[in-house]
Chains A and B, each alone.
Chain A
């Protein structure tokens, strides 16, 4: 079953008069690993903020999981947000809570699980990201890559349908970065989660991406869409070709 989980219609994104993206149309299908590519400063993080409701778009609308995100009221939005998870660049863990408490927080807030089940779930999620045994550590006591994985465990806590990633491999060594890619693939495959990923990492893009858009800073539009591997063999324009080959063409 291939339904759209996100459908952007004529979406314009920016801050005040600073327009970053004009009249964008794109769809993210259920089960996709959807890559948002583009040069630095072209508005990828901002687009992610719009899709997660942190920033209002300048114009246009988008459907999230079948609901028109800009029309629904606050409580319906919160309801939808529970079906999505976000992994921020630095993990964005709550520094005064242990990893276990961080992951348990959305569960205690939004689910009817018993404490015992929550404890078990926390252990399971941590094991899933390879952090079993770190339950009682504070975020300041673990490394950057571990924070990222812990953040992913928290994003996955409520079994979301969509998980957003903002530059997941930034600041990771090649091996950890590859492992994170594998983890994302496993999650996508086994939990049937749709992943929306902002990344510059070409290796990741080709390894995991099933669909993608390329945001062009100069024209402020989407200049390429499709499977990244196909875009590489058949680039629609110069700049995409340059991006996908690290400027070698």
Chain B
């Protein structure tokens, strides 16, 4: 049965509602009807209505609005009292006017705004970095409002918990390095130099980079997510209003933990990588273990080792600062936490690569 039937007689539209008007869509044929016919009056009768829900209100509001727009006379008869009250109630609420949206600016303005925005972000990021580096170095001379347990907790997530994955990946990288190197070295019959290749490669740069990338994805992301969620819950506002410096309370323990663990993880990663190389050398290239060790020890130089450790230290700062920065910059919604986590990882890795480039350039000039 049709819940809504209508009849047109001499400019008057009679609408009869009947039965259970529940979960009804707006009738499709009505808009045309208003276009094609000259209507000056609408009568709506609800005498045969049994049950109803909000979709009835939608239909009635729709007719009311059409009547208002086209200046028609509209009357309602026999509507349930609830319906009438609700219609009044919804009409009584004055619409809120949204602030007028600024018209779209021209290309030059937008380009300029874009530039200014980038500039502001650079300033903000730089200030954050300097403030936190200052806090970090001052923390060795002054007591800071940091909770010991926060530091220990961060130390655990940055250290022991990350160790298995770091070792596994470094082992694989050493393995790959040895395989790829061996193919080239074999053409000169010099495959025993695989040992030197893996040792120098891992200690000088690959160990630090692999650990950096793993820690950016693992720890940097978790810093951003934790701090971002605190931002969503207004916990950071609470800290600020208590007069507790966010840098000391949230950033410092994480920064310290990561800067402390990164070199240690890198050292262990170096060993795992060299072990991976030895694995390939002994099992696939038929190089005796003693020979591998001899070449590896010859190639191992303190300067390479320290260059690797220095990289790891710098990466530790970059990852921790990037994670904390994007966590704090998070806005108040669930997907902004996701965004800041992504940003923390992406920017962390990008800045790590930029830093590697700079360090390499400087070391090359210095001849190290």
Q: Which A residues form the contact surface with B (CB < 8 A)?
A: 94-96, 111-114, 116-117, 120-121, 123-125, 127-134, 136, 138-140, 156, 159, 186, 189-192
Are B82 and A190 interface neighbours, CB within 8 A? Answer: yes
> Pick the contact of B62 from A113, A120, A186, A192 — CB < 8 Å?
A120
Besides A131-B93, A133-B98, A134-B96, 16 new A-B residue pairs in contact (Cβ under 8 A), listed by A number: A95-B232, A95-B333, A111-B23, A112-B25, A113-B55, A114-B26, A117-B58, A124-B54, A124-B57, A129-B93, A132-B90, A136-B98, A159-B53, A186-B89, A191-B82, A192-B82
B334 on interface, CB distance cutoff 8 Å: yes
> Pick the contact of A117 from B26, B85, B94, B95 — CB < 8 Å?
B26
> Pick the contact of A96 from B23, B25, B81, B334 — CB < 8 Å?
B334
Are B58 and A190 interface neighbours, CB within 8 A? Answer: no
B86 on interface, CB distance cutoff 8 Å: yes
Using A95-B333, A113-B55, A121-B55 as known contacts, say yes or no to A130 and B82 having CB atoms under 8 A apart.
no
- List B contacts of A121 (CB < 8 A): 54-55, 58
Q: How far is the CA of A138 from the CA of B336 in the complex (A)?
A: 13
- List A contacts of B332 (CB < 8 A): 95, 140
Q: How far is the CA of A89 from the CA of B149 in the complex (A)?
A: 32
- Per-residue contact bits, chain B 45-65, to A (CB 8 Å; 1 contact, 0 not): 000000001110110011000
Interface size class of B (residues with CB under 8 A): 20 to 34
- List B contacts of A95 (CB < 8 A): 232, 332-335
Q: 3 smallest A-B Cβ distances: which pairs?
A: A133-B96, A190-B82, A95-B333
Are B53 and A116 interface neighbours, CB within 8 A? Answer: no
> Pick the contact of B96 from A114, A132, A156, A159 — CB < 8 Å?
A132
Q: Which B residues form the contact surface with A (CB < 8 A)?
A: 23, 25-26, 53-55, 57-58, 61-62, 81-83, 85-86, 89-91, 93-98, 232, 331-335
Q: How far is the CA of A116 from the CA of B59 in the complex (A)?
A: 11
Q: How far is the CA of A95 from the CA of B228 in the complex (A)?
A: 14
- List B contacts of A112 (CB < 8 A): 23, 25
Are B86 and A96 interface neighbours, CB within 8 A? Answer: no
Q: How far is the CA of A169 from the CA of B85 in the complex (A)?
A: 23
Query: Chain B interface mostly helix, strand, loop or mixed?
Result: helix
Using A113-B23, A114-B25, A190-B82 as known contacts, say yes or no to A128 and B97 having CB atoms under 8 A apart.
no
Q: How far is the CA of A44 from the CA of B232 in the complex (A)?
A: 27
- List A contacts of B83 (CB < 8 A): 190
Chain B residue at smallest Cβ distance from A186: B89
Are A117 and B98 interface neighbours, CB within 8 A? Answer: no
- List B contacts of A114 (CB < 8 A): 25-26
Are A113 and B96 interface neighbours, CB within 8 A? Answer: no
Are B26 and A116 interface neighbours, CB within 8 A? Answer: yes
Q: How far is the CA of A221 from the CA of B129 in the complex (A)?
A: 58
> Pick the contact of A127 from B23, B81, B91 — CB < 8 Å?
B91
Chain A residue at smallest Cβ distance from B98: A133
- List B contacts of A123 (CB < 8 A): 61
| Min CB–CB distance B367 → chain A (angstroms) | 54
- List A contacts of B57 (CB < 8 A): 124
> Pick the contact of A124 from B82, B90, B331 — CB < 8 Å?
B90
Are A130 and B93 interface neighbours, CB within 8 A? Answer: yes
Among the interface residues A120, A140, A156, A159, which one has the most CB atoms of the partner chain B within 10 A?
A120
> Pick the contact of A131 from B81, B96, B232, B334 — CB < 8 Å?
B96
| Min CB–CB distance A177 → chain B (angstroms) | 18
- List A contacts of B53 (CB < 8 A): 159
Using A117-B25, A140-B332 as known contacts, say yes or no to A128 and B89 having CB atoms under 8 A apart.
yes
Are A120 and B93 interface neighbours, CB within 8 A? Answer: no
- List B contacts of A111 (CB < 8 A): 23
Are A132 and B333 interface neighbours, CB within 8 A? Answer: no
Q: How far is the CA of A192 from the CA of B97 in the complex (A)?
A: 32
Are B58 and A127 interface neighbours, CB within 8 A? Answer: no
Using A96-B333, A121-B58, A124-B57 as known contacts, say yes or no to A132 and B86 having CB atoms under 8 A apart.
no
Are B335 and A96 interface neighbours, CB within 8 A? Answer: yes
| Min CB–CB distance A223 → chain B (angstroms) | 36
| Min CB–CB distance B92 → chain A (angstroms) | 8
Chain A residue at smallest Cβ distance from B97: A133
Are B333 and A138 interface neighbours, CB within 8 A? Answer: yes
Using A117-B55, A132-B93, A133-B98 as known contacts, say yes or no to A191 and B23 having CB atoms under 8 A apart.
no
CB-defined A-B contacts under 8 Å, sample of 17: A95-B335, A96-B333, A111-B23, A112-B23, A113-B25, A114-B26, A117-B26, A117-B58, A121-B54, A124-B54, A124-B58, A124-B90, A130-B93, A131-B93, A156-B54, A186-B86, A191-B86
Chain B residue at smallest Cβ distance from A120: B58
Q: How far is the CA of A113 from the CA of B23 in the complex (A)?
A: 7
- List B contacts of A139 (CB < 8 A): 333
- List A contacts of B89 (CB < 8 A): 127-128, 186, 190
- List B contacts of A120 (CB < 8 A): 26, 58, 61-62
| Min CB–CB distance B82 → chain A (angstroms) | 4
| Min CB–CB distance A131 → chain B (angstroms) | 7
